[in-house]
Chains A and B, each alone.
Chain A
Amino acid sequence: LAKTTQPISMDSYEGQEVNITCSHNNIATNDYITWYQQFPSQGPRFIIQGYKTKVTNEVASLFIPADRKSSTLSLPRVSLSDTAVYYCLVVNYGSARQLTFGSGTQLTVLP
């Protein structure tokens, strides 16, 4: 299973765009990059998933370069309610049942 590395914490201000980068040097061909969000004392929530290039949904964008050894989660115009822990996971389709969560990135949005 590919190991992921992401910053422990990040601060931002309301209205700014936040980019959280995750490295996954040992990603395999069948692996997908997946991001979850977790608020305190709640379960994680699936945000976005991608294989390569760019994926966008109503919450975030995910940028994946051609070598797929890293990925960047982009949150446009963050608000205070985006303060949470963001987890980058590498998910292998077929064996995706046992998700491996790392330490995540604590994003704090300041007023």
Chain B
Amino acid sequence: EAGVTQSPTHLIKTRGQQATLRCSPISGHTSVYWYQQALGLGLQFLLWYDEGEERNRGNFPPRFSGRQFPNYSSELNVNALELEDSALYLCASSSRTSGFTGELFFGEGSRLTVL
């Protein structure tokens, strides 16, 4: 069974540009989560989508946004990129049960570098 897949693996942008990151959850999982992990920092919760709706967001500015598609895949958009947005962006998915108990399944991440 395929795990959570993310694309692109690496992305280089310049300040002010927009970045789009994509995530495909494990088959059967309806929830998708986005986390940011900046170098030397812990994982910070960004967004949670379930059944196509945004259910919760972390303490990030509105230029971080996303959506979940009918097939449960998701994309994260970061507008007006700033240097401090450089980080590993991790997507995770869960079933209804595993999400309830905190068992999330993470992808390998997309490394965004802002120059």
Contact = CB atoms under 8 A, between A and B. Distances in A.
Interface centre among A43, A97, A99, A103 (most CB of B within 10 A): A43
Q: Interface majority SS on B: helix, strand, loop or mixed?
A: strand
Contacts of A93: 100-102
Contact of B42 (A45, A91, A97, A103): A103
Given A98-B58, A102-B42, A43 B101 contact: no
Contacts of A44: 43, 90, 104, 106
A18 to B, nearest CB: 21
B56 interface: yes
Interface string A87-102: 0010101101111111
Range for the number of chain B residues in contact with chain A: 20 to 34
B33 interface: yes
Q: Interface majority SS on A: helix, strand, loop or mixed?
A: loop
A43 B106 contact: yes
Nearest to B3: A43
Given A43-B92, A104-B42, A99 B111 contact: no
Given A91-B101, A97-B94, A99-B102, 15 more contacts: A32-B102, A41-B108, A42-B108, A43-B92, A43-B106, A43-B109, A44-B90, A49-B101, A49-B102, A91-B102, A93-B102, A94-B100, A96-B101, A97-B33, A101-B43
Interface of B: 4, 31, 33, 35, 42-43, 45, 48, 55-56, 58, 88, 90-92, 94, 99-109, 111
17 contacts: A34-B103, A41-B109, A41-B111, A43-B106, A43-B108, A43-B109, A44-B43, A44-B90, A46-B103, A49-B101, A49-B102, A96-B102, A97-B31, A97-B55, A98-B56, A101-B35, A101-B42
